[in-house]
Amino acid sequence: MNYASEQRSTNSEQFIKMLAFQVGFDACGISKTDYLQDQVVHLNHWLDSGYHGEMGYMERNTEKRLDPRVLVQNAKSVISVLLNYYPGNPDISTKPPKISRYALSLDYHVVVKDKLYQLLGLIRKEFGNVEGRAFVDSAPVLEKSWAVRAGLGWIGKNSLLINPSLGSYVFIGELIVDLEIETNTTQTPNRCGTCTRCIDACPTGAIVSPSVIDSRKCISYLTIEKKTPLTEEEQNSLNGWCFGCDICQEVCPWNGKAINTNCDDLLPKQEILNLVPSELKSISNEKFDTVFSDTPLSRAEYKRIILNSNDHK
């Protein structure tokens, strides 16, 4: 494709956003690299309170989390993108044992990162030898904070990014680059207001205060991140979920008009949709590998899914 100068906006920010939409992202915003001073108190309080549970990696690389210039040499701009993954309300996510909606398709790390590198390639065609790295929920990057700075939404009381058009069923990705990009970003005001539906609906009380999650109580953490065996009390608290949890998103008014994803790679795999939810209680190891090996469920061991799928009450 010809990216002649007459085709692009004189505003590089708008031009890069156009390229992001071209590769399939649903939203894009840009912010200057900076030290996230406003996150220091929140992050330290969260860690000091032990809310990260067994996620010891959250205690490491604090400076990289707070300053992308430590993570990426000569970083000047953070390009944040959103990709809608909402799949509707399939039985596998609404009837126990339930799988969180984000895990019904190909592994999002691969899908989003591939699009980010497509975007980086297009940026290089226009702006020359731009150096940078792509990040998708797998490195010390405070992605929600950068998305907020880029004007893509606000942090809801459930601690998730909420975009006023897309809701919270979105994946976040970043390109941290050495390209200086002038921005006219206006941050989106927090529009949760007095609503407490997510706090009220959480069956384990994991939302201990607005935007603060005690992971040790969070069903997603218990079914995915916790490495030591669940106690009987924890097993009984899973509320029908065997991998992840969507409750705080299901009740959020901003998801009331969620539109299904138009990204083919994020459409639920037919093999998963064909599963009767109760099959997860006795699925064979071989079938589990066949159906879920290229999905986020590959992070969980087969035995763990079986254990989480069988009610211990």
Active site residues: 137
State phi, psi for 302 to the nearest 5 degrees: -50, -45
Give strand pairing partners of 82. 27, 172
Q: Strand 170-177 relative to strand 77-84: parallel, antiparallel, unpaired?
A: antiparallel
The tokens of 172 are what? 């976040």
Residue linked to tokens 């792509």: 134
The whole-angstrom separation of Cα 126 and Cα 132 is 15
DSSP 26-60: SEEEEEE----GGGHHHHHHHHHTTTTTT-GGGGS
Are 167 and 191 in contact by the 8 Å Cβ rule? The answer is no
Length of the chain: 313
Residue type, 115: K
Residue linked to tokens 């108190």: 41
Which runs of consecutive H residues, i.e. helices, occur in the chain?
A: 12-22, 40-48, 62-66, 68-71, 91-94, 108-127, 143-149, 197-201, 219-220, 232-236, 247-250, 270-273, 285-292, 302-309
Chain centroid to CA 200: 22
SS3 172: strand
The whole-angstrom separation of Cα 143 and Cα 161 is 9
